[in-house]
Amino acid sequence: MLVTKNLVPGESVYGEKRISIDSADVDGAKVEYRVWNPFRSKLAAGVLGGMDKIFIVPGSKVLYLGAASGTSVSHVADIVGPEGVVYAVEFSHRSGRDLINMAKKRTNVIPIIEDARTPHKYRILLSTVDVIFADIAQPDQARIVALNAHEFLKVGGHAVISIKANCIDSTAPAEAVFDREVNVLRGEMFKPLEQITLEPYERDHAMVTARYIRHM
């Protein structure tokens, strides 16, 4: 079971199970954890699938593209803790509403209801980030990630991208699609580090981590 420590104890974001454990060192203090469902979150699927490093550490600044209703974003916010920041970008208004409600509780989440294709529109809200996590199901997602990276990602920062083969090219075999995306990333000054498939949680999905080396 994958759990994250709850930043807002006593509350469930999307109805997930919470586990309260009595901590023995501090008497009376209960530590609460929230179960992270790998079927609903690609990042959890990647972690459980055996990704070596996801580069989202406590205190880091994360740009989350494709935040949807904020279920995964809440877990990322739990991981980065109160010192870190999560900039959650989501274009849909309906999901954005849920995202904003979630961000009301978690103060380290900054919701941005804007198209990720136009990063200059929300450049005022962001500072340089350490990690970009992208879960956008668009055919040109590599280009979108690159645009955001050129604007916001620090040099030596990392990008973690979830690729859905069906979305990019439904006719080509999944392996070929993943290779193509990795090559696009290489062209955009990224150095790919790892790629894993998200079986058995998702079909024909892969997660790719890459390091941003701005100067080739």
Partner 1 sequence: MSSLRNSLHRRNHKERSQLSHRQRFGILEKHKDYVLRARDYHSKQDRIRRLQQKAADRNKDEFYFGMNRERTEGGVHVQDRGNVSLPVDMVKILKTQDENYVRTMRATGLKKIERLKEQLSALADLFAPILADDAPGAEEEDDTGLDEEALEVLRDAGVVARPSKAARKRRSSGVPARHVVFVENEEEARRYVRGQDDLSTSHPVDGDNVGPVDLGWTKPEKRRKGKKNDHDDAVDAMDSTDMSERRQAAKAHRTRLLKELSARLHRDRMLRYAERELEMQRLLMGKGRSKKLKGVERVGGKDDESEDEDVQDARRGKGSGSKHGVKDVDEKLYRPRVYKWRVQRKR
Q: In the complex, what is the shortest distance from the CB of residue 164 to partner 1, in angstroms, rounded to a whole number?
A: 13
Rounded distance between C-alpha atoms, residue 166 and residue 204, angstroms: 7
Q: Which stretch binds partner 1 (CB under 8 A): 16-24, 60-68, 97-105, 129-137?
A: 16-24
For partner 1, the closer of residues 35 and 110 by Cβ is 35
Does 1 engage in binding with partner 1 (CB under 8 A)? yes
CB-neighbour burial class of residue 48 (10 A; exposed 0-12, middle 13-18, buried 19+): middle
Q: What is residue 24's DSSP assignment?
A: S
Does 181 engage in binding with partner 1 (CB under 8 A)? no
Q: Which residues share a beta bridge with 62?
A: 86, 131
Rounded distance between C-alpha atoms, residue 74 and residue 70, angstroms: 6
For partner 1, the closer of residues 67 and 182 by Cβ is 182
Does 173 engage in binding with partner 1 (CB under 8 A)? yes
Does 33 engage in binding with partner 1 (CB under 8 A)? no
Does 4 engage in binding with partner 1 (CB under 8 A)? no
Q: Which H or E run includes 59? A: none
Which of 6, 37, 71, 148 contacts partner 1 by CB under 8 A?
A: 37
Handedness of CA 192, 131, 162, 48 (dihedral sign): positive
The residues in 194-213 that bind partner 1, with binding defined as CB under 8 A, are 194-197, 199-204
Q: Which stretch binds partner 1 (CB under 8 A): 6-14, 21-29, 79-87, 148-156?
A: 21-29
| Residue 178, C-beta contacts closer than 8 angstroms, at least 6 positions apart | 163, 165, 195, 206, 208
| Residue 187, C-beta contacts closer than 8 angstroms, at least 6 positions apart | none
Q: In the complex, what is the shortest distance from the CB of residue 159 to partner 1, in angstroms, rounded to a whole number?
A: 13
Which of 6, 38, 56, 162 contacts partner 1 by CB under 8 A?
A: 38
Does 70 engage in binding with partner 1 (CB under 8 A)? no
Q: What is residue 66's DSSP assignment?
A: -
Report residue 49: phi and psi, to 5°.
Answer: -75, -15
Rounded distance between C-alpha atoms, residue 47 and residue 191, angstroms: 20
Does 83 engage in binding with partner 1 (CB under 8 A)? no
Q: Which stretch binds partner 1 (CB under 8 A): 6-14, 59-67, 145-153, 174-182?
A: 174-182
**Binding positions for partner 1, rule: CB under 8 A:** 1-2, 17, 20-25, 35, 37-40, 48-50, 52, 173-175, 182, 191-197, 199-204
